[in-house]
A and B are shown apart, each in its own frame.
Chain A
Amino acid sequence: DQQVKQNSPSLSVQEGRISILNCDYTNSMFDYFLWYKKYPAEGPTFLISISSIKDKNEDGRFTVFLNKSAKHLSLHIVPSQPGDSAVYFCAARDGGGSEKLVFGKGTKLTVNP
């Protein structure tokens, strides 16, 4: 049973517009959430993270929002650039002391020039 769900397998946006990638989770013990970006034939690259005690974290063009009551987080990219085209993975850590990450299936973002 998937504990981290990315229900949109793909998303297409125009350059300069906002990209919003969504992620839902079921395990209320998750205490830390991350977004990774992955280009073809490369490994995932850390993008941004957020602790469960916060509801927002911002780093340049990237902002992650966390809604604990809804068990939902989202990644906003503003403005989107063609180089942002990649697969984005949402991941979460079980707060029970484990260091392992639970990943979603990923959303493929395409930013059109």
Chain B
Amino acid sequence: EAGVTQFPSHSVIEKGQTVTLRCDPISGHDNLYWYRRVMGKEIKFLLHFVKESKQDESGMPNNRFLAERTGGTYSTLKVQPAELEDSGVYFCASSLGAWSDYNSPLHFGNGTRLTVT
């Protein structure tokens, strides 16, 4: 079974540019999450999709961030325009059902390291 895949693994952009991160969850996983870790701090929740619907987007920092999951398969996270403080590692995770079901752990991808200069 392929794991959660994220593209690109690294991205370096200038302040004011646009970047789009992509996440391919494990096939069949309805639940998809985005998290972010900034500069050695804690990993913070951004949002949660159930299929193509946004279940919880309470962690999105501001309207420069747009997440989509058209068709309920892969998801994209666009940052436009990027600011210096957006630098960090963006993780995507997926689960078959609600992860809190003991048999449905949350599987994380390797992350996209974003550097805004």
Contacts and interface: CB of A to CB of B under 8 A. Distances in A.
What bracket does the count of chain B residues touching chain A fall in? Answer: 20 to 34
Contacts of A99: 31, 33, 48, 55-56, 98-100
Contact of A46 (B48, B58, B91, B106): B106
A98 B99 CA distance: 11
Contacts of B88: none
A45 interface: yes
B110 A43 contact: yes
A100 B42 CA distance: 14
Interface string A1-20: 01010000000000000000
What bracket does the count of chain A residues touching chain B fall in? Answer: 20 to 34
Interface string B74-95: 0000000000000000010100
B40 interface: yes
B43 A103 contact: yes
A2 B42 contact: yes
A93 B41 CA distance: 18
A62 interface: no
Highest count of chain B CB atoms <10 Å: which of A43, A46, A98: A43
A44 interface: yes
Given A4-B42, A104-B42, A43 B111 contact: yes
Interface of A: 2, 4, 32, 36, 41-46, 49, 89, 91, 93, 98-106
Interface of B: 4, 31, 33, 35, 40-45, 48, 55-56, 58-59, 91, 93, 98-100, 102, 105-111
8 contacts: A4-B42, A41-B110, A49-B102, A91-B43, A93-B100, A98-B56, A99-B99, A100-B59
